[in-house]
Amino acid sequence: MTKRRLYLNNEPWQEALNNFLQKLNERQLLVPGEPQLVPVEEALGRVTAEPVFAKVSSPHYPAAAMDGVAVKAENTYGASDTAPLRLLLGSEAFEVDTGDPLPPGCDAVIMAEDLHYPGDGTVEIISAASPWQHVRPIGEDLVATEMILPANFAVRPYDIGGCLAGGVTEILVHPKPKVVLIPTGTELVQPGTALKPGDIVEYNSKVLGALVQEWGGEPIYFPVIADGYDALKAALKRAVQEADLVIINAGSSAGREDFTHAVISELGELFTHGLAIKPGKPAMLGIVHEKPVIGIPGYPVSAVLTFELLAKPLIYAKLNLVPQEREKVFATLTRKTTSPLGVEEFVRVTLGQVGNKLMVTPVSRGAGVITSLIKADAILRIPALCEGFHAGQEVEVELLRPRKIIERTVVAMGSHDLALDILANELQKLSPGYRLASANVGSLGGIMALKRGEAHLAGMHLLDEITGEYNVSYLERYLPQEELVLVNLVHREQGLLVPRGNPKGIRGLADVAERKLQFINRQPGSGTRILLDYLLKKQHIQPTQLLGYAREEYTHLAVAAAVAAGSADAGMGVAAAAKAFDLDFIPLTKERYDLCVPRKFWESALLDSLKQALFSEEFRRRVAGMGGYDLSDSGKIVWTSACR
């Protein structure tokens, strides 16, 4: 039996990083490389290696700052409205345009708007000019030998103009730190490869490489290294010859095929293996052939987090820069968020301005969920000695997006439907800068979010078993004091999702129950779960008769994915989800899916943009194209309530 290796450390990440930086600085391994001379036009984002001084003054001659005439100021004294003064053109007054050199002997310019031309070769003025009026003196902008940019300064677009104005065409910059990225894992395949079970698309290196470029470095992509000690050792020996920093992605844990710790230890020094963080615990820090080497986990969220915490400071240090801290704001947590003691947890969250409160909602905390990186607006840090935060608690978060975008976010919580994704896309197309952020918490969860003031709207399809109507009775029960507007989004078909060709010959729920076929369900509180329970009750089927009734997913697409993968024989979902995964669909019922919006939000400027998207022809066309939708009432107000 292969013996698993335990982590060497469980250090606080900041302590481990500081100790590592100290070791690197003691060995002078973070000193920038030999400066490079680059054309100013190509210097955007580069970091100056020495101060930049103007070679010429700007302007380098006295220049007219206005269109008009250049004069000697003392020749204009005495001119007034009641005693206009005439000057001879060509000898006492000289016509100039903005930017022209001042004629010899002139020290002022009178604007064209203040001139009158009698037509006899003279120009008439009605007020005296003061010396150097409307004149740009030599060096008004830059004086020769003046410093334009300091050393260790990241060049911006404006700085390019300043350098060129000062006669500087080339500047010395620090070389871009070269960062070798080594993806490891026999299971990794290149994007675009036909996938078979067990294959994982290798995209981490491209994400990390883009971050390297954003931070001013130069990524060097190594090919995927299959699991194996000798292969990884050879790759690392080559990498330290080419790089200023080496990143080994995956193989950092304590599994049977995790060799990074052993390879670093053999070729150099391993200082840290295991950080007190979540996700990203298996990260490691070492030095091989006087080059820093960082081992990071393979899961994308863990990889990005540890890369930002550990690699970013090193890349900036090689440029003699310090990373800027993200803006921090306080917001109200929408749900209880627990965390294990002893580790600092980094939770990706979404934000939305609902009324006068900034609300924060955690997204998926799975280390392998790349979409959590896409959706996140901010990061919530839970300290190592804290077990989490309560719902409604004010917490501090670090922004990943500008505050203005968050203020223009429509927050939707409730039931999942694919039409919401189309609506979100149309909103951003028609109203750039605005967006729709959805959290799939089920129809009842959406109602509770409205009750707590955590959302602008909630998607729902809650069937009342007694009346056969949708949504209204639930809103009257749970939100009796709210002024609400219930707007239809779509009517949609709900049914059973089964594999293409329906190999098990499923005709309905009775077949699934009687034949003990594998089922996949939706979460409690979702409209689909309530509908399923209603249909089971109507057909006298006990939930326990469905094998897999307790197995739950949070979206129609997740149910469809499970059926498509063969891990379930059937699941409840909408026809559009079946079409998206090329599944067969057995219709069971047609239901109404509505959006519930508090009237104060429905009539707000924020929702005006969403209404425009909802009523657009493109939205209707795209939703209809997914199949299984009826948009005859889409956008129609089906019910309103008045505060009682």
What is the C-alpha separation between 293 and 23, in angstroms, rounded?
13
Say what the pLDDT of residue 252 is: 61
Say what the pLDDT of residue 526 is: 87
**SS3 at position 439:** strand
Say what the pLDDT of residue 465 is: 85
Average pLDDT of span 517-535: 92
* Amino acid in the structure at residue 643: C
Average pLDDT of span 567-592: 94
Confidence grade of residue 259 (pLDDT, cut at 50, 70, 90): confident
For 562-578, the pLDDT digits (tens) are 999 999 999 999 999 99
For 407-425, the pLDDT digits (tens) are 999 999 999 899 999 999 9
State both tokens at 457. Answer: 């709207």
Average pLDDT of span 382-390: 95
- C-alpha 400 chain-centroid distance: 6
State both tokens at 228. Answer: 């194996």
Say what the pLDDT of residue 183 is: 96
Confidence grade of residue 253 (pLDDT, cut at 50, 70, 90): low
Say what the pLDDT of residue 335 is: 87
State both tokens at 512. Answer: 């699934």
What is the C-alpha separation between 575 and 85, in angstroms, rounded?
87
Burial class (CB in 10 A: 0-12, 13-18, 19+), 351: buried
Average pLDDT of span 140-164: 96
State both tokens at 50. Answer: 């020495």
Say what the pLDDT of residue 254 is: 58
Confidence grade of residue 102 (pLDDT, cut at 50, 70, 90): very high
Q: Are 378 and 358 in contact (CB under 8 A)?
A: no
Number of H helices, E strands in the chain: 19, 38
Q: Ramachandran region of residue 250, left (φ > 0), alpha (ψ -120 to 50) or beta? A: left
With 90 as the cut, is the pLDDT of residue 78 above it?
yes
With 60 as the cut, is the pLDDT of residue 1 above it?
no
Domains of the chain are 13-31+176-317 (3.40.980.10), 36-58+141-173 (3.90.105.10), 63-136 (2.170.190.11), 342-429+436-440 (2.40.340.10), 456-640 (3.40.190.10)
- For 165-264, strand residue ranges (E) read 170-173, 178-183, 188-189, 200-201, 218-221, 245-249
**Which string of DSSP letters, residue by residue, matches 431-456?**
STT-EEEEEE--HHHHHHHHHTT--S
Query: Percentage of residues in the chain with pLDDT exceeding 70?
Result: 97
Q: Are 367 and 301 in contact (CB under 8 A)?
A: yes
The secondary element (H helix, E strand) that includes residue 211 is helix 204-214
Say what the pLDDT of residue 353 is: 94
**SS3 at position 122:** strand
Q: Are 499 and 565 in contact (CB under 8 A)?
A: no
Within 10 A of 503 (CB to CB), how many other CB atoms are there? Answer: 10
Confidence grade of residue 3 (pLDDT, cut at 50, 70, 90): very low
**Average pLDDT for the chain:** 93
State both tokens at 335. Answer: 């749900």
The secondary element (H helix, E strand) that includes residue 17 is helix 13-26
For 281-293, the pLDDT digits (tens) are 999 999 999 999 9
Within 13 A of 100's CA, how many CA atoms are on the CB side? 17
Prediction pTM value: 0.87
Pick from 316, 317, 350, 309: nearest CA to 333: 350
State both tokens at 161. Answer: 């103009």
The owner of tokens 């020094």 is 269
Say what the pLDDT of residue 368 is: 80
With 50 as the cut, is the pLDDT of residue 644 above it?
no
List the Cα angle 265/266/270 in 5-degree steps. Answer: 15
In this predicted model, which residue has the larger pLDDT, 256 or 189? 189
The owner of tokens 């699991």 is 227
